[in-house]
Amino acid sequence: MAHSKWPVLILFLPPALLLFTVLVILPMGEAAWYSFYNWNGYGSPTQWIGWRNYQLIFRNGAFTQSIINNGLIVLISVLVQIPLALWLATMISSRIKGALFFRLIFFLPYVLADVAAGMIWRFVYDGDFGLVAGIWHFFGAEPPFWLADKDVAMYAILGVIVWKYFGFHMMLFIAGLQAIDKSVLEAADIDGATGFQKFRLVTLPLLGSTVRLSVFFGVVGSLQLFDMIMPLTGGGPSNSTQTMVTFLYNFGVTRMQVGFGSAVGVVLFVICVTLAFTYKRVFMRND
């Protein structure tokens, strides 16, 4: 058998390896190289500044804020979004009337493009003509401008994130619930377990791998969050809603600080790789 492996390798490996090298490894290496230069993208990088870009990143208040925000998104995802999704999933995975309809309704926000969702919610939150303004006006109150208030804007965005992604997590849980052997639950019934006992002692432990996967997606999603923030706040006011990726875009790309932007990219890459591997190793070892 061993000798027959080579033709396959020679035939199938080069295209994938070439693509991966050209599209992933090379740009990453290039970004790491640029990150040591003060370079605006014109000509070739010549001004070597060592670790200065990295020092600037960690001294930048907006970057610290973006890390806090990314953490906040993970936290909300674990504390609010996943429990909510799990609760809804347990309700509509059973064959109750209209379950399919609700599944569709709850999943709809996830289908929507992130940019579109961001724009829709920008109108909802608008203090002049938005839905929020309408409700406040109805009660005769002066409408708030949540997205313009640096103390509130991030919470408004967290609300949108929960709304947008809970359907996705719910679908994961529904799939997980359907994979649970019905006879286990029937056995619990015969043993006289209550509904809550069944959930806590049977369903939840059997859903463990789905929950861990769900949290993993939450973390990865938080690190990637960009296209919804841009139409909502663009990272403002006063950088209060920056995530790491919007920070990279606002401080690297739009300011033509290619060196600085590359350094942010490298930091983001290191954080992503560390988180992904640690999480997989620690929590998803047996999945």
Partner 1 sequence: MLTITNKGIRLLSAATVGAAAFCASVATASADVTIRWMYVEAVPATIAVWTKIGKDFEASHPGVKVEMQFLENQAFKAKLPTLLQSKDAPSIFYTWGGGVLKAQADTGSLRPINAGLDADGGKWRKSINASAIDGLTFDGKTYASPFKSGLVSFYYNKELFKKANVDASKIATWDDFLAAVKTLKGAGVTPIAGGGRDKWPLHFYWSYLAMREAGKQGFADAKAGKNDGFAGKPFVKAGELMADLGKLEPFQNGYLGATWPDALAAFGDGRAAIILGFENTLATQASNSTSRKGLSEDNIGRFAFPVVKGAPGLATDSFGGLNGWAVTKNAPPETDEFLRYMAGIDVQKLLAKETQIMPVAIGASEAVSIPLLKDVAETLAKESWHQNFLDQDLGPNVGAIVNDMSVEIVSGGTKPAAAAQQIEDAYSLERK
Whose Cβ is closer to partner 1: residue 55's or residue 238's?
238
What are residue 48's DSSP bridge partners? 37
**CB-CB contact of 213 with 172 (8 Å):** yes
Distance, CA of 1 to CA of 79 (rounded, Å): 51
Please report the DSSP string for 63-123 in residue order: HHHHHHHHHHHHHHIIIIIHHHHHHHHHHHHS--TTHHHHHHHHHHHHHS-HHHHHHHHHH
Whose Cβ is closer to partner 1: residue 167's or residue 261's?
261
Could you tell me the smallest distance in angstroms from the CB atom of residue 245 to partner 1? Answer: 17
Could you tell me the smallest distance in angstroms from the CB atom of residue 53 to partner 1? Answer: 11
Distance, CA of 260 to CA of 99 (rounded, Å): 50
Whose Cβ is closer to partner 1: residue 89's or residue 160's?
160
Could you tell me the smallest distance in angstroms from the CB atom of residue 137 to partner 1? Answer: 13
Could you tell me the smallest distance in angstroms from the CB atom of residue 237 to partner 1? Answer: 4
**C-alpha to C-alpha distances, 28 to 189, 241, 248, 254, nearest whole angstrom:** 55, 27, 15, 20
Whose Cβ is closer to partner 1: residue 73's or residue 147's?
147
Report the interface residues with partner 1, using CB under 8 A.
38, 40-43, 127-129, 142, 145, 147-150, 153, 233-234, 236-238, 250-251, 254-257
Could you tell me the smallest distance in angstroms from the CB atom of residue 24 to partner 1? Answer: 20
Distance, CA of 54 to CA of 72 (rounded, Å): 23
Whose Cβ is closer to partner 1: residue 44's or residue 286's?
44
Q: Tell me the helices (H) and strands (E) count for the chain, helix number first.
A: 15, 0
